[in-house]
Chain A
Amino acid sequence: MGVTLAAGETLQLVNINPDTIIFTLINTLIIFLLYFFFLHKPVMKILDERKEKIANEMKAAEDAQAEAEATKAEYAAKLKESKEEAAQIVSAAVKRAGERENQILAEAQQEAAALKKKAEESIELEKKKAINEIKDQISDIVIMASEKVCEKEISKADNEALIDRFIAEVGKE
């Protein structure tokens, strides 16, 4: 089959040439190998490596995040614990202070009571002492007055009996 030209030649357009087929098959194989080894394989290798690297990095990031969350939870727990501890310490201190306060108050009251008692005792003593002194003075005065009034000596025994009666009477009043 061909295109007939004016000069009587034919253009061999659709002629199958077995040699060309063989050479083309060989050339196609070579181009396939060139493409495969020079371009396809290195690119696929780098793409796989990149995929793997990204997967590893993502996994590492996820691990790091999980670790961070765990640490955060741990710290939160610790913080809570220390807060509780602090609250406990404060409450214990408050309690102890309260106890101490009560104790101090009690001691003070006790001391005050003791002082008061002592003071009262001392006052009583002084009172008695004063009364005795007054008794003595009064008896002396009475004796002197009696001596002056009576100008007459009476027996000391009579005198003292008289005085005691007088004092008793005075004491009753």
Chain B
Amino acid sequence: MIDMAPVLMAEEKTFTVDGPLKSIVFELFGKEWVIAETVITQWIVMLVLAVLFFVLGRNLKLRPEGKRQVIAEWIVGFFTGYVDDSMGAKYRKRFAPYIGALFCFIILSCLMGLFGLKNPTSDVSVTASWAIITFVLVLYTKIKTGGVKGYLRSFIEPMPFMLPFNIIGDFANPIAQALRLFGNNVSGMVIGGLVYFALGSFAILVPAVLSLYFDLFSAVIQSYIFITLTMSYVAMADMSEE
């Protein structure tokens, strides 16, 4: 068996999934807090998005002047239209902003990978946070539309023996959602990192093409799938009869 260690060590580098930023550790309220690298990247994303939203959304006119307003209206119109189509118009007011914000957050997080930063969606804790939000939204929708009674009854429907499957289903959906986004992005990151590492000083073009695929193409698709799943889970949780 050939030991790979000397080969890897010979490069005087170690393979790592960490990006160029370092995580910050500090103490507050008698607890040691860790600000992971992915959280720092999120702050960069937030900064970019804040500027972007502010520039796009200010000084709008009844008669659009310039492309800026057209783009702003297109973005908002796209998400409101998408929520209308997949959830119904009654969810537009409360869900369109969340879906729009989430999509922008995810897609820009993935784009951070293109700039060499660690993609926040390749951290399972990050995708798990969004899955927690989905779980809470589903729970809220079920209780709001069906009442506590209706919510509890939904576990033994259509048959009482479905109880364990229904309980699993409630947790499996958000977990699968989180792992899908995480898995796609972390695999891209690992493959990209390994190729980059293996090519060493010949790392031209190939990592760039891979990065374009994983950080751009795959990222757009996965972001889209993530918001679509969020919407369909919540829409399915709606127990009001219409």
Contacts and interface: CB of A to CB of B under 8 A. Distances in A.
B33 to A, nearest CB: 5
B156 interface: no
A18 B125 CA distance: 7
B39 A43 contact: no
Contacts of A50: 62
Interface string B26-44: 0000000111101100110
B contact patch SS: helix
Contacts of A32: 97-98, 101-102
B14 A9 contact: yes
Interface stretch (A21-29, A71-79, A113-121): A21-29
Nearest to B34: A19
A31 B100 CA distance: 10
A40 B57 CA distance: 8
B39 to A, nearest CB: 4
B17 A34 contact: no
A57 B149 CA distance: 50
Interface string A33-45: 0111011111111
A17 interface: yes
B8 A46 contact: no
A contact patch SS: helix
Contacts, number: 145
A48 B163 CA distance: 46
Interface in B89-107: 96-98, 100-102, 104-105
A17 B42 contact: no
A64 interface: no
26 contacts: A7-B5, A7-B9, A7-B14, A15-B125, A16-B128, A17-B34, A21-B125, A21-B126, A21-B128, A24-B120, A24-B130, A25-B129, A31-B45, A31-B46, A34-B50, A35-B101, A36-B97, A38-B53, A38-B57, A39-B72, A39-B76, A43-B60, A43-B73, A45-B60, A46-B73, A47-B76
Interface of A: 3, 5-7, 9, 11, 13-21, 23-25, 27-28, 30-32, 34-36, 38-47, 49-50, 53
Given A7-B9, A17-B125, 13 more contacts: A9-B14, A16-B125, A17-B34, A17-B123, A19-B35, A19-B39, A20-B39, A24-B120, A28-B105, A31-B104, A39-B75, A40-B100, A53-B62
Interface of B: 3-5, 8-9, 14-17, 33-36, 38-39, 42-43, 45-46, 49-50, 53-54, 56-58, 60-62, 69, 72-73, 75-77, 80, 96-98, 100-102, 104-105, 120, 123-126, 128-130, 132-133, 186, 190
